[in-house]
Amino acid sequence: MRVVVADPGFRVERVRRLLDDHELDVVSGGEPWEGDDVVALLIGTDVRVTPEDLARLPALKIVASCSVGYDHVDYEEAERRGVWVCNVPDYCVEEVADHSLALLLGLLRGIVELDRSVRAGAWDWTAAGDLRRIRGTRLGLIGFGRIGRALAERASAVGFEVWATDPAVSPQAIAAAGAKAASPDELLENCEAFSLHLPLTPETKGLIGAKELASMPRGSVLVDTARAELVDLDALLGALESGHLAGAALDVLPAEPPTRELPAPTAPRLVVTPHAAWYSVEAEEAVYRRPVLSVRDVLEGREPAGAVNRP
């Protein structure tokens, strides 16, 4: 039986050690995968698993991804074929909440812009434009799952007035977590800082476009550490160029890493980090260990942790 490692972060030797009780051939392998002896795929978000891939792997038992998102796997077709699909839904909750708060504070206090100004030879405390007092600033969280709640806790502690909207979370649950529940329109019109914490689905793709950006009060800031496709990038850059938005921070881009054809975006008061919100030494260890343990669960007849379907 073979376990195919399709993401280099897993490190083949470590996977072998974690599965050393089983007679398995652990190999690195790119697409197309095929063979009636492949029982597991270990992948990352840059690898798509399609119905065609699944059809070429009749013995496949599990696809385990080192990620929170799982939209890169056709999990419904996998379920139909009796294949588990697993993710690691909570490995970087603390890190993404920390990173999101750091970006919000950096935008509202002009940290990056002021640093760039000094390094360009200036000494001007107004170089970042009007800066905002954190206490009392209304922060709108669009999405209130694990990360949204963790950010709400942190943001409240430093003085933000936290609002939140999430179609999957009741107003009562939002209020119980210490945030003010609001409709999407209410949140967009009344908050001054925004942070996105939603999965990418057909319903959320392009959720923040020109109309939504125009609804935000002039001088607002926006942070996206979730998925690039949640935001219309051209509309966002236009809102920054016009000055309607005072700043934005992106940890996710349409092309990662940027290419000559799709370069990293540039605009006034735009901060870009290289999809680093998830990272800490602790999170890196967990994200590559837990999918392998899910493979082990399946091979030993147990329901795997992090399962997103029920074959």
- Pair 10, 123 in one domain: no
In a domain, 144, yes or no: yes
In a domain, 207, yes or no: yes
DSSP codes joined into one string, 146-198:
HHHHHHHHHHHHTT-EEEEE-TTS-HHHHHHTT-EE--HHHHHHH-SEEEE--
- Pair 124, 109 in one domain: yes
What percent of the chain clears pLDDT 90, i.e. is strictly above it? 91
- Pair 108, 163 in one domain: yes
- Pair 84, 103 in one domain: no
Structurally, how many domains does the chain consist of?
Answer: 2
In a domain, 308, yes or no: no
In a domain, 311, yes or no: no
Interatomic CA distance for residues 151 and 172, integer angstroms: 18
- Closest by CA position to 43, among listed 13, 71, 76, 80: 71
pLDDT, position 3: 95
For 90-140, give the secondary structure using H, E and C. CCCHHHHHHHHHHHHHHHHCCHHHHHHHHHCCCCCCCCCCCCCCCCCCEEE
- The residues assigned a catalytic role are 227, 256, 275
Reported as a single tens digit per residue, the pLDDT across 212-224 is 999 999 999 999 9
In a domain, 306, yes or no: no
- Pair 112, 224 in one domain: yes
Reported as a single tens digit per residue, the pLDDT across 255-309 is 999 999 999 999 999 999 999 999 999 999 999 999 999 999 999 999 999 999 9
pLDDT, position 176: 96
The pLDDT-based confidence of 124 (bands split at 50, 70, 90) is very high
What 3-state class would DSSP assign to 201? coil
- Pair 51, 105 in one domain: no
In a domain, 42, yes or no: yes
- Pair 49, 179 in one domain: no
pLDDT, position 23: 82
Instruction: List the structure tokens of 92.
Output: 């970087």
Q: Is residue 68 predicted with pLDDT exceeding 80? A: yes
DSSP H/E element including 259: none
- Pair 103, 210 in one domain: yes
> What backbone torsions phi and psi does residue 215 show, to the nearest 5 degrees?
-75, -25
Give the CB-side neighbour count of residue 98, counting CA atoms within 13 A: 10
- Pair 98, 76 in one domain: no
The pLDDT-based confidence of 78 (bands split at 50, 70, 90) is very high
Contact residues for 151 (Cβ-Cβ < 8 A; gap 6+): 96, 97, 100, 101, 141, 195, 197
- Pair 144, 260 in one domain: yes
- Pair 132, 192 in one domain: yes
Instruction: List the structure tokens of 163.
Output: 């609002």
The pLDDT-based confidence of 196 (bands split at 50, 70, 90) is very high
In a domain, 309, yes or no: no
Burial class (CB in 10 A: 0-12, 13-18, 19+), 13: exposed
Which residues are paired to 14 by β-bridges? none
What 3-state class would DSSP assign to 59? coil
CATH number for the domain spanning 257: value is: 3.40.50.720
Reported as a single tens digit per residue, the pLDDT across 258-271 is 999 999 999 999 99
Give the CB-side neighbour count of residue 239, counting CA atoms within 13 A: 27
In a domain, 310, yes or no: no
Domain of residue 16, residue span:
2-91+281-299
- Pair 135, 158 in one domain: yes
- Residues 50-60 have a mean pLDDT of 96
